[in-house]
Amino acid sequence: MTRALLLALLLSFAPAAARAQAAAPRPIDIPAWFTESFFDLREDVREAAKGGKRLMLYFGQDGCPYCRALMETNFEQSNIVTKMRAHFVAEALNVWGDREVTGFDGQTMSEKEFARAMRVQFTPTLLFFDEKGSIVARLNGYYPPHRFEAALDYVAGKMEGKQAFADYMRSAAREAASATLHEEPFFTRPPHDLRRGAKPLAVLFETPYCSGCDELHREGFRRPEVRAQLAKFDVARFALGDDIKVVTPSGKKTRAADWARELGIAYTPSIVFFDRGREVFRIEAYLRPFHLAGSFDYVASGAYATEPSFQRFLQARAERLRNRGDAVDLWK
């Protein structure tokens, strides 16, 4: 008997109340072609491989505008859905959920514990696994359709043995956007010695022809709430292919391009935050201004040291803003 049939039989005999308890309300609908699973990831990888597919885990949460964009924008495009169904077994996990997950090491834990163990800080986060259960690509946050499809091509084509994911994405995900990088008055100037200063450090990595970079400068950096946070940081900016010399926060002398490669930067714009000379947080996803300001606040306030969950920090921050009468719109 196949696992899918066994699961269907178990569900058909389960009491209605138990089914209602197990299936928490999902304001953001998961596509019907996602796979129902017992979440034994060792078995899930084996089953996927038997069908010539790879396992993809989606980590999401209710009320997440980026999760909604993934479901209602990316997963409504026929070419993306066709690739997903042809090459992947997709399973959905709730970052606050209590269903049991058995990891590749055989250890059983809840969804939320597993999300924490996998260092999920943004929703959606997508993890793609090879046939041995190793992660071959990780998408932290929302990727617009053209970038998302490029990531699917990388994993489906089993290109991890030929080219690093970050290098592939730099050349494969071209878009119509500005051919030049944007300058900002708050960027640090050469020589770039990034060893610890009086403020925490934010390092922005960009490329030309990056529409997300254009939007970050056009909208994100113009918002008063973001500018207030930026004032608390030293902000350095590099292009991914920059030959410019840099002294990293750890004191290493290198080129910006080599440092970006060492950090594994696969998305632009990405912002890597350092405090006291060590990396403490990073943004590797498309963010609207509320989450952008929250990311800077998470580091500047030192909350990263006491609250390991960025999502819980954002929830508490939104509640504080609402309590003082501020309008909070997660997408604006």
Q: How far apart are CA 274 and CA 224, in angstroms?
A: 23
pLDDT value for 122: 93
pLDDT value for 330: 75
Mean pLDDT for the stretch of residues 111-118 = 96
Q: For residue range 126-172, list pLDDT tens digits in order.
A: 999 999 999 999 999 999 888 999 999 999 999 999 999 988 988 78
Q: How far apart are CA 288 and CA 196, in angstroms?
A: 29
Lowest mean pLDDT among 42-46, 125-129, 196-200, 201-205: 196-200
pLDDT value for 113: 96
Question: How far is CA 300 from each of CA 94, 158, 280, 284, 324, rounded to the nearest angstrom?
Answer: 28, 40, 11, 18, 21
The 8-class DSSP code of residue 190 comes to S
Is there a contact between 322 and 328 (Cβ–Cβ < 8 Å)?
yes
Mean pLDDT for the stretch of residues 99-119 = 95
pLDDT value for 287: 87
Residue 24 pLDDT greater than 70, yes or no = no
Residue 74 pLDDT greater than 50, yes or no = yes
Confidence of residue 326 (pLDDT cuts 50, 70, 90): confident
Residue 42 pLDDT greater than 80, yes or no = yes
Q: For residue range 178-197, list pLDDT tens digits in order.
A: 888 999 999 999 999 999 77
Collect all residues with Cβ–Cβ distance below 8 Å to 315 and sequence separation of at least 6. Answer: none
User: What rounded mean pLDDT belongs to the chain?
Assistant: 89
List the domains of the chain with CATH numbers: 21-167 (3.40.30.10), 192-323 (3.40.30.10)
Residue 269 pLDDT greater than 60, yes or no = yes
Is there a contact between 277 and 195 (Cβ–Cβ < 8 Å)?
yes
pLDDT value for 27: 61
Residue 6 pLDDT greater than 70, yes or no = no
pLDDT value for 5: 40
Q: What is the pTM of this model?
A: 0.77
Q: How far apart are CA 223 and CA 48, in angstroms?
A: 45
Residue 83 pLDDT greater than 50, yes or no = yes
Residue 17 pLDDT greater than 70, yes or no = no
Q: For residue range 285-310, list pLDDT tens digits in order.
A: 888 899 999 999 999 999 999 999 99
pLDDT value for 158: 96
Higher pLDDT, 122 or 5: 122
Residue 292 tokens read as 């952008």
Residue 11 pLDDT greater than 50, yes or no = no
Please give the helix or strand (H or E) that residue 81 lies within, else none: helix 78-87
pLDDT value for 329: 80
Confidence of residue 240 (pLDDT cuts 50, 70, 90): confident
